[in-house]
Amino acid sequence: MRNFSYYLKLSLHNIKRAPLPYALTLMILSIGLGVFFSNATLYYWMNRDPLPEQSPMLFFPRINSVQQACDSCLTPLRVLSYKDVQKLSNSAIPSAQAGMFQSGGYARLPNTQHGPTPVTIRVTQRDFFTLFNAPFLHGQTWADNEARMELILHYNAALKFFGRTDVLGQQLLLDGELYTIVGVLDNWQMLPKLYDVNNGLAITPVEEIYLPWETAYNLGIKSNSTTQSRDSRNYNENFAVNGREGEFYQAQFWVKLDTPAQQAAYRQFMDNLVASEKEAGRHPRPNGNLLHNMLDIAEAFNERNRQLDAFAVVSVLFLLVCLFNASHLSLNRYMASQFEFSLRRALGASRLQLQGQLLTDVLVNGMLAFVLALLFALLMLLLINQLLPATSALNNWQPSLILLMFAMALLASYLVTLYPAWRASFSPLNQQLKA
């Protein structure tokens, strides 16, 4: 500790000795790290597993159920119809399953002068909250999957409309319909929102209001993202019937298959389902059954953010260039101190003691570079958020990410210091000390 305080004093002394070259080195290192950190932040949020304890068991089944014959059409649509969900729901293999889609609407409190507020809605079934570990703060999910004028609010929505969360039994007007609140979720988020990848909505916040699936069909509530109709029905009329019976594709369907045996059984179930549909003449297209695991879903729907991948490569290359340049500047600084290194060694400092000094330099540089790099990263993230508004949900740092970035700053500082310091401290002693 006594040595460390001396080494620290020397590090600060060295900075004061040549502040401009030092500031330049630090600035280059910080810019490189800042760009890298901003990308790492996006990359971390985009590629993390939001439900590590559950994700290996969550699957999205797809069947090639479009009623127009097409022998070369091997891949199912990105969304399912009401009937698809109904048929797939007939299996008892999954421990949980839910059909769903995203919608939007306007909500307000009844008997108030306030105008309606736009809200995001997830139309879904009772198992949704089990599937994605959405915790309830008050109340619970619906008793079954039947239609009912009951909704579940997200924590933020409860605060937005009522200013509090304990609002069970309260009523809310949504697009002119009166609903009773039966549950309030805790302040839950899921990033990336992998259940919505097929709509390209993986980096948007979870929805504010949750409506029963059957109720939405009764009321003609449709998805506000991917929809496809494959027949000539008018889906703006009598959606309660047309939406259920017609070829109107808008739904996602998630199942929880706890074991590999259940997963194999479910695949068999899907094959059997298609075979029986074919027998009944309702499945003219080839069997294109797919069962995607949640962690593969972005690849499966080709929704992996290639811009982010490209940015990752560029930011790594940029960091390397910055490291190289900072190392060059650092080399000049250390070579200027070569005499002092040699003198210290001549007067009895061991290489280990000099390494202690260098590691203190690394620590000081690493900490300063880390703080500056965080500032640069923040600016970069704000810029990226401006250019790509969809990334705004990714603009935050968790302690583990900050720790990782700090380790990265120390490593970069070590790399920048290592070679120059090695060159300076291991040069022949007699040359430097001669007049």
Neighbouring C-beta atoms of residue 280, cutoff 10 Å: 8
Q: What span, in angstroms and rounded, lies between the C-alpha atoms of 127 and 69? A: 34
**Nearest to another protein of 335, 402 (CB atom):** 335
Between residue 1 and residue 30, which ones bind another protein under the rule CB under 8 A? 6, 13, 17
Maximum distance among all Cα pairs of the chain, rounded to whole angstroms = 100
Question: CB 370 → another protein: shortest distance, Å?
Answer: 28
Which residue stretch of 97-105, 122-130, 256-264, 346-354 sits at the interface with another protein (rule: CB under 8 A)? 346-354
**Nearest to another protein of 240, 343 (CB atom):** 343
Classify burial at 233, counting beta carbons within 10 Å of its beta carbon; exposed 0-12, middle 13-18, buried 19 or more: middle
Question: CB 358 → another protein: shortest distance, Å?
Answer: 15
Question: CB 421 → another protein: shortest distance, Å?
Answer: 16
365's CB contacts (< 8 A; 6+ apart) are: 25, 26, 29, 413, 416, 417
Tokens of 210: 């949750």
Q: Answer yes or no whether residue 430 interacts with another protein by CB under 8 A.
A: yes
**Nearest to another protein of 11, 124 (CB atom):** 11
Q: Answer yes or no whether residue 336 interacts with another protein by CB under 8 A.
A: no
Question: CB 320 → another protein: shortest distance, Å?
Answer: 33
* Of the residues 92, 113, 237, 434, which one makes contact with another protein according to CB under 8 A: 434
Q: Answer yes or no whether residue 235 interacts with another protein by CB under 8 A.
A: no
Which residue stretch of 132-140, 237-245, 344-352, 408-416 sits at the interface with another protein (rule: CB under 8 A)? 344-352
Classify burial at 237, counting beta carbons within 10 Å of its beta carbon; exposed 0-12, middle 13-18, buried 19 or more: exposed
Question: CB 417 → another protein: shortest distance, Å?
Answer: 20
For the chain, how big is the Rg over CA atoms in Å? 30
* Of the residues 187, 238, 350, 396, which one makes contact with another protein according to CB under 8 A: 350
The amino acid present at 266, given as its one-letter code, is Y
Total residues contacting another protein by CB under 8 A comes to 22
**Nearest to another protein of 20, 352 (CB atom):** 352
Residue 136 β-bridge partners: 185
Residue 80 near residue 62, CB atoms below 8 Å: yes
Residue 425 near residue 344, CB atoms below 8 Å: no
Question: CB 364 → another protein: shortest distance, Å?
Answer: 18
Question: CB 414 → another protein: shortest distance, Å?
Answer: 22
Which residue stretch of 229-237, 312-320, 339-347, 360-368 sits at the interface with another protein (rule: CB under 8 A)? 339-347
Tokens of 423: 């060159």
* Of the residues 352, 387, 389, 399, which one makes contact with another protein according to CB under 8 A: 352
**Nearest to another protein of 109, 336 (CB atom):** 336
Question: CB 1 → another protein: shortest distance, Å?
Answer: 13
Which residue stretch of 158-166, 217-225, 338-346, 412-420 sits at the interface with another protein (rule: CB under 8 A)? 338-346
Which residue stretch of 32-40, 48-56, 103-111, 351-359 sits at the interface with another protein (rule: CB under 8 A)? 351-359
Question: CB 362 → another protein: shortest distance, Å?
Answer: 20
Residue 172 near residue 110, CB atoms below 8 Å: yes
Question: CB 22 → another protein: shortest distance, Å?
Answer: 15
**Nearest to another protein of 47, 355 (CB atom):** 355
**Nearest to another protein of 89, 342 (CB atom):** 342
Between residue 399 and residue 428, which ones bind another protein under the rule CB under 8 A? 428
Phi first, then psi, for residue 312 (nearest 5°) are -60, -45
Q: Which residues bind another protein (CB under 8 A)?
A: 6, 13, 17, 339-340, 343-353, 428-430, 433-435
